[in-house]
Chains A and B, each alone.
Chain A
């Protein structure tokens, strides 16, 4: 009887949170699914039901295929570089050296700056007429005329990926560094006594210890980078042409620039399905880690 009362009390306490979650997550999600089956312009009160037409359009669309492949390139390049650089930097920052505190603060700085500031700052640094990059290269006689870094398809993609790496690597550093600091020194001392090389110590102690965090970080970075919009929108708006138009940029343009809410919703549902794969993987990994604990 007491347990039943507790259950009712527990459920009652959950109600406010459930209402909030329903309003903020489930309603928009259901509404997006509903909209994806409709043709609805942004200023129309009522659209019309068109079944799977938006999804069929997506499958036939060259822009969508292009955006999907760019999203994969953008995400993969960013995640691989962020993880490699992030782990390396974390290992370095975990060592004792003079000025370590300052180095840690400086390395983490890009992550704490607002995206809008970072995007605008890079846009001006790379500017053709007055950017410091072109100015320096011209002063050094490396180039004879300014390079349009964000105006050329290949260099634009390279630049946005580079800026993404610069901006988000600190997240990997923080996560890995936090885990590194909890590895007992005794493990390394014992390994050294046993004659283990530095590489063996890294492989069998460090890597084994940070493996769980690393996997979570890789999944989180993959999800975050896959749906990154603001930085790309400010830096290139998907251009030149569609050279940096990833899926989120395409969704934004479909829904708000083209004013087609239904098509934008269908695009975002496809993104949701892709990201869901990573969410399931993330849940499995975190669930497994908790079981191990």
Chain B
């Protein structure tokens, strides 16, 4: 009896093991690393993955999260451990460095397959191959209060000079108590991302961080002029510019404390949440250009999909990206977490009725459409400034000296020239370049 029982148990265990092994053998498993960690975005990702798995039986997508600050350290640890994900949602500024290390898979075929992503938004690489698929753009434009501009009898600014005058005119001092009731503009001066705002001013003034030969030119006279202008503009911002980040700017704009702010589309979601009445009183213009510049500018911040060269399943990984960026998946992605923030990068979506009829988009359709048009017309991003590859860009922008010196300038600790010279010298020394 005892022997019989042992035999039955053994057979059962062996059968279960064989069935499990068979199950594993039939399952293709890919991993997807994303920095989208807010609950709504996570729900969207899970939903898209569920649908992908339904139409691809036997394929399992394992999602991995790391917030924006931690995504690079996490990826670094994974690359060292040989456990890099198959697909990642990533900043294109790091793409040239990853390509140089041989970590990325060329995605030219997928780019052709999707078919309507403007080539100008793809990161230039040394071998001119495509290694990243831009998924969306964030159009950073100048939001302004139409009602206040009308009341002050001024037009939305197109040049630095007009911008400064507008900021001055819209900084209102109540003569009764001497307290400022309303400020002209909100400035993002907090570390470590203040360089985003400064870079736009720099580009709008005809200056660059690096030239087309990858020489450091952030300390050029035009760049110094742009930073000095930023400092002048900051005088019409609420106190605490050096600590001001997106949360503070959102609050200041929604509460009516400021009349202008450079911001991506997320502002619209926040207006809906905190002060819906404001929606009819706002409009946008591109970043005005400076005396050394010649055209307005929009910082079209790009985010991309990449596939790692170590993937066992390149075709399934590409299929996942294509699926993510098509039909209702793409619509869900673009409209759920912060509608109007992540703008479609696929040109066919510029007139997609389904997108513009979506309630959260429809509410701000004019501004969103304008944001997209401006981004397509004037849009630029760090990695897109020249056709040449800049291998130093990712590291240069990450070096704390950049945001620290800009912050010091805004705090009045150093002059514009001192700040930019220090950044430039640090970069030159670090990379051994001119």
Q: Do the beta carbons of A259 and B179 come within 8 Å of each other?
A: no
Contacts of B405 in A (CB 8 A): 241
**Chain B residues packing against A (C-beta within 8 Å):** 69, 72-73, 75-76, 79-80, 94, 97-98, 101, 103, 177-180, 190-192, 238-243, 248, 251-252, 255, 257, 394-395, 398-400, 404-405, 407-408, 410-411, 413-414
By the criterion CB–CB under 8 Å, are A43 and B413 in contact? no
Could you tell me the distance between the alpha carbons of A128 and B244 in the complex, rounded to whole angstroms? 10
Contacts of B103 on A, CB cut-off 8 Å?
43
Q: Is the CB of B398 within 8 A of A237?
A: no
List the B side residues contacting A238 at CB < 8 Å. Answer: 191, 404
Give the residues from 113 to 137 in chain A that come closer than 8 angstroms, CB to CB, to chain B.
Answer: 127-130
Cβ-defined contact, B101 with A43, below 8 A: yes
A208 at the interface (CB under 8 A from B): no
Q: Is the interface of B mostly helix, strand, loop or mixed?
A: helix
Check B192 against A257 for contact (C-beta < 8 Å): yes
User: Please, which residues of chain A bring their CB within 8 A of the CB of B248?
Assistant: 127, 129
Contacts of A148 in B (CB 8 A): 239-243
- Cross-chain contact A259 with B255 (CB below 8 angstroms): no
Subset of 25 A-B contacts with CB under 8 Å: A42-B73, A43-B101, A44-B101, A45-B80, A45-B101, A129-B238, A129-B251, A129-B252, A145-B179, A148-B239, A148-B241, A148-B243, A150-B240, A150-B243, A151-B241, A236-B243, A240-B407, A241-B242, A241-B404, A241-B413, A242-B404, A256-B69, A256-B73, A257-B400, A259-B72
A104 close to B (CB within 8 Å): no
Residues of A contacting B: mostly:
loop
A-B contacts at CB below 8 angstroms, number: 110
A residues contacting the other copy or chain, number (CB 8 A): 35
Q: Which residues of A contact B98 (CB under 8 A)?
A: 43
Residues of A at under 8 Å CB distance from B? 41-45, 127-130, 138, 144-148, 150-153, 236-243, 245, 253-254, 256-259, 261
Q: In the complex, which of the residues B69, B79, B242, B404 contacts A151, with contact meaning CB atoms closer than 8 Å?
A: B242
Q: Which of B97, B190, B399 contacts A258 (CB 8 A)?
A: B399
Given contacts A144-B178, A242-B408, A257-B400, contact A237 B239 (CB under 8 A): no
Residues of B within 8 A of A127 (CB): 240, 248
Q: Which residues of B contact A152 (CB under 8 A)?
A: 411
- Distance to closest chain B CB from A157 (angstroms): 13
A257 smallest CB distance to B (angstroms): 5
Residue ID in chain B nearest A150 by CB atoms: B243
C-alpha spacing A48/B30, complex, angstroms: 32
Q: If the complex has contacts A147-B239, A148-B243, are A153 and B179 also in contact, measured as CB distance less than 8 A? A: no
Q: How far is the CA of A263 from the CA of B407 in the complex (A)?
A: 23
Residues on the B chain within 8 Å of A259, using CB: 72, 394-395, 398
Which B residue's beta carbon lies closest to that of A255? Answer: B73
* Contact residue among A147, A237, A239 (Cβ-Cβ distance under 8 Å from B411): A239
Chain A residue numbers with a CB within 8 Å of B101 are 43-45
Interface centre among B177, B255, B399 (most CB of A within 10 A): B399
User: Which residues of B have CB within 8 Å of A153?
Assistant: 411, 413
